[in-house]
Structure 1
Amino acid sequence: MLLPMSDEERLYCEAVEGTVKRVSPVDHVQKMDNQKQFDFGLHKALAELGVWGVGIEEEFGGAGGTPKLQVQTLEALGRMATSMAVFGVVQFMATRLLRQYGTPAQQDKYLSKLCAGAIKASFCLTEESGGTDILQAMRTNARRADNGWRLTGSKYWISGAMHADLLIVLARTSEHRSRGVTMFLVDKPTPGVSASEINTFAINSYDTCSVAFDDVALSDDAVLGEVDQGFIQVLSTLNSERLNAAAVATGIGRGAQQLAVEYARDRQAFGRPIGQFQSLQHRLVHAGVALEQAWLTTQMAAIAEEQGQTNIEVSSAIAKLAASKAANEAVRTGMETMGGAGFDLEYPMQRYYRDIRLYSFAPLTDDMLANLLGERWLGLPRSF
């Protein structure tokens, strides 16, 4: 179920889907997943379409477009090549931060290259001892030094750091809990910066890393935005990240739903298609309805962001929570519809089943989103 699309949006989305089918058909996506390899060919093909510049004005090297077009892009990639969709969420966050807070020199150096796919970025916020409570747990720090800063510490669960050319790093620069964090732009490679891949079981074509900073020398030009205001500045981008994550989760769920329906139509048992059994039909229908509700919620939240509505924190949280719940149920239903065939690496169902788990806890867990909504949406007492 879609909101009305302009001819430009429709042609663009058709081009994205056509490119994925041509460059990375299902068997190729599975091969990349099995081998835990980033799909550089697909990344390049999508860059040629302007995908990585969506949401950034053309004068900054972007492709134009709206938050709605970003979520449409990510939903399609979520259905077809999930790891590349997760990559897209990170890149859109990086380009947004540079567009909002970058100096002209920083934008000239990085923004157009990110939009063109010439370089890749990684966002370094979480640490081994803290995710949701990162403000309390943050140990990575930057101290003033001659002609700049010295950055020391480590980050954990960082997507894409192995192949990134640019790291956007949040580090503590003063003692104030929230107004004491600064964003830094760190080129990779830079002396003192190292990344190690974490061996995860999902999103296999996009690396997850720990990143260490050993007394890394940075100039004042490396500061993105204002000193001590980095976390405050990044909050609006975290809301956008949740919205984009909702699109990826919905795409995963819709991909699993489509595969399950096709399988139910073709698979025979007791002399008839298993899709003829009412109990299975109902499960697939209910899963599909929840997915479409989540997708409409996500698109409406994207439109609200485009219109500059102020309560995007609530609408993005609702979209992310709805998409996570609906997609996890759709994938579970899909796996149970296929039974043993769902374990077969020839089918993408097992990949959907693994990949969707990410969105139960990132970005922000389902329970923490519910906590946030209880307070900010329902007006109930703060629970955490």
Structure 2
Amino acid sequence: MSLSMNGRTLMSMLGNGVRFVSFRSKHSGPKVALLGANGGIGQPLGLLLKINPNIGRLALYDIVGTPGVAADLSHIDSPAEVKAFTGPQELQKALEGADVVVIPAGVPRKPGMTRDDLFNTNAGIVRDLCEAVAKTCPKAFVAIITNPVNSTVPIASEVFKKHNVYDPKRIFGVTTLDVVRAQAFVSTMKGTDVSKTTVPVIGGHAGVTIIPLLSQVKPSVKFSDSEVKPLTERIQDAGTEVVQAKAGAGSATLSMAFAGERFVNALLKGLKGEKQVQCAYVKSDAVQGVEYFSTPIELGPNGVEKILGTGTLNAFEKQLVQSAIPELKSSIEKGVKFVKK
């Protein structure tokens, strides 16, 4: 029997296998806190997290409606124990002992709105939630879905700095939806097996900052010049495509929930020591001129173990990066100023 160096898990030898038992609970597997569990993304994401076998406890938090979501999910015959927490007075309890905190809380985008239009409302929500995380479970991995991600990740970082618990390896902007979309669109266009198609997407998580690396698709496929530009633009504008298709009734919720669960699952596997590679928007020196940038990263027990960088870019992709830098710088500065004001 041995204790892991970071104190997160107790490794119990059972027969020929190893079981990871959370210190904080009799339930095997880590605790995930979902903040914004009653929302359009939160409900389907909660469903996917409930049936994830790597989760021992699932804490659902929102300002209203959480008991109903928890009651519904608790009837599913999967191992994760579900508990509801409602309102600011119960936020600390929701976060106690959390290994991973997932934040989809906020208002969705509507027709005609840019992600920047969401800033004033969502920035305050992320700031307040991260204040509670910094005080209650500062060592948790924090996966931020709330838009505009290009600004909300810097907001989270500044809050953690303010409380002297900042670890850039543990704060992530979830850009997995851009990867999922790119892989779906490329597979449809080229007839590849979508389950084996990988497309790195770098940059940020809004408009021109979303940079699909079509030159690095695996398995390798060729794109004509007439295909690259419209496909790139479709990936960049895919969120708007969904907003318009829903005719004002919502934004990308189901696909975002799917992508969010994929990223959280990678964090959980990394926590157990299984090396994972995902694209995410993190503090990075991969590109000069910006403090945060999304590239493929290697995940492990400490969060970001390695930033794998952009790889070799072609001329078109290099131009996309240069076009994204001013937009990213502006969004990052906006987030930092929001906390420091």
TM-score where L is the length of structure 2 = 0.33
More strand by share: 2
Greater helix share, structure number: 1
What is the TM-score normalised by the length of structure 1?
0.30
Which protein is bigger by CA-based radius of gyration?
1
